[in-house]
Amino acid sequence: MATDRIETEVCVVGAGYAGLTAARRLSVARRDVVVLEARDRVGGRVWTRHTSGGVPIDMGGTFFSPKHERALALAAEVGATVFPTNVVGDTVLATGGKVQRYATDKTPRINPLALASFGQAMARLDAMARRVPLDAPWDAPHAASWDATSAARWLSRRNVPTRGARDLMEATLRALFCCDLAEVSLLNVLFLLGAGGGLLPYMSIEGGYQHFQMRGGMQTVAERVAADLGDRVRLTSPVEAILQRDEAVDVVSPSVTVSARRVVVTIPPALAGHVRYDPPLPADKALLLHQLPAGTEVKAVVVYDEPFWRHDGLCGASVALDDEYEVTLDTTPPDSEAGVIALYAAGPKARRLAAMTPEGRRDTAVDTLVRRFGRAAASPVEVDQVNWVEQEWTRGCSMAHFGTGTLTQYGHELRRPVGRVHFAGTETATVSHGAIDGAVRSGERVADEVLADLGVPGPVSVP
């Protein structure tokens, strides 16, 4: 049972984008850093696997928006390059068993009343979202009322009169939170929209959240940042306890105990709650971490010899609210002959898929693609799939959500340090909350916080 013992200035828990960014920034500021990561890889909720033919496929976070400036800057720093998601060709919309296609710059031929109703609801949500202070959603003008209302309850006939519009809005929000909308507070929805610049960017490829992908896969950036940190990143070291002593904090994992002056916890909130703290966490902090579950997302990535849909004038994006996998996107890498499509299922639909056998899920994914893109979809080279809730060191995607009452009652604890222990992760982000860019920003914020705390005045300038 002999474990290594390391002394350092700052111990970072978690080698996702938040942890790696914090460690990098602290390193640049010449602080001694050790990163402890539970898995045998870096990247956290970003995870690039490879097909047997060597094609990189992203099983987790995949996209950047052009507005994800801090994440793009980090990628540029380590020489990673992005490419735009394909938008050439029509989008497929399947409703009631009928498959239609429409030009990406046109609106689909669905009930114009539903479209108008959806547009109105979106405008109303966006207007409310603009009134939510991103650093303190609990101070919004109607915070108490918005936080007492679930997103499902808000999505009533009164607020969104047309059935088709309600269905579309429900699917759109469900794709963001990956859970039933009864589980999410309206204030959380408004905060997320505010943090992302409105609802439209989340729904958009060009100019929106799905604009860019990473050459070599999104994990490339994490790997390069980790490579710069060298042996300061310790893999397969799940943190079990954080023990604050008079002069230092001991961070305990089975293989190594790190003694540090400050600790930065960047793992998902529910997992941060599983760590044993001594002294125990303050009451409200503990209660907050007891109520930040993430959603269920099942993702299937289907690889073909070539992106055959493009020859048919299709861009690879598709939506069908009747299917378990509601959305597909083209995630074909630019420097490969293969064609790659990712399918997404969120919330209750993902949980139904999760109850199937892997073969059943696989067949459902391929059948879905055949219905939307034709017979050529029936012969994939490879199908990969993941359920992020089953990942012990993540437990859900793409971010934790706030149930009713949580933000107003406990939100003030999100970023509050506890003694020498600081907290980061995309759930603590204001701008780009829930996105990779939010994780990066939270890493920058917490690094500056720790530097100030260690007596280094003001934020450091990072090249």
CB of 157 to a second copy, least distance (A): 12
The H or E element spanning position 28 is helix 17-28
Is 313 in contact with 90 (CB distance < 8 Å)?
yes
| Residue number, 120 or 291, with CB nearest to a second copy | 291
Q: End-to-end CA distance of the chain: give it in Å, rounded.
A: 42
Q: Is 133 in the site for a second copy (CB under 8 A)?
A: no
Interface pick for a second copy out of 86, 95, 210, 406 (rule CB under 8 A) = 406
Q: CA–CA separation, 426 vs 196, rounded Å?
A: 13
Q: Is 283 in the site for a second copy (CB under 8 A)?
A: yes
Interface pick for a second copy out of 66, 348, 417, 459 (rule CB under 8 A) = 348
Q: Phi/psi zone of residue 405: left (φ > 0), alpha (ψ -120 to 50 degrees), beta? A: left
Q: CB atoms < 10 A from the CB of 402, how many? A: 28
**What is the CA angle 76-461-78, rounded to 5?**
20
| Residue number, 270 or 383, with CB nearest to a second copy | 270
Interface pick for a second copy out of 5, 124, 274, 311 (rule CB under 8 A) = 274
Site string for a second copy, 229-268 (x = CB under 8 A): -----------x----------------------------
Inter-CA distances, 315 with 89, 90, 330, Å? 4, 5, 7
CB of 348 to a second copy, least distance (A): 7
User: Which stretch in 12-20, 87-95, 273-281, 305-313 sits in contact with a second copy by CB under 8 A?
Assistant: 273-281
Interface pick for a second copy out of 89, 196, 273, 425 (rule CB under 8 A) = 273
- DSSP H helices in 295-435: 308-311, 348-354, 358-373, 406-410
Report the DSSP pairing between strands 327-330 and 314-319: antiparallel
Q: CA–CA separation, 36 vs 23, rounded Å?
A: 11
Q: Is 184 in the site for a second copy (CB under 8 A)?
A: yes
For residue 116, which of 168, 73, 81 has the smallest C-alpha distance? 168
Interface pick for a second copy out of 37, 90, 170, 183 (rule CB under 8 A) = 183
Is 212 in contact with 64 (CB distance < 8 Å)?
yes
Q: Is 270 in the site for a second copy (CB under 8 A)?
A: yes
CB of 328 to a second copy, least distance (A): 23
Interface pick for a second copy out of 211, 262, 351, 422 (rule CB under 8 A) = 351
Q: Is 130 in the site for a second copy (CB under 8 A)?
A: no
Q: Is 181 in the site for a second copy (CB under 8 A)?
A: yes
CA count, 13 A, side-chain hemisphere, 363: 5
- Name beta bridge partners: 422: 264
Q: Is 148 in the site for a second copy (CB under 8 A)?
A: yes
Q: CA–CA separation, 319 vs 178, rounded Å?
A: 16
Interface pick for a second copy out of 180, 223, 323, 413 (rule CB under 8 A) = 180
* Residue ranges in contact with a second copy by CB under 8 A: 1, 144, 147-150, 152-153, 179-184, 240, 270, 273-274, 276, 280, 282-284, 286-287, 290-294, 296, 348, 351, 354, 387, 389-390, 392, 395-396, 403-406, 408-409
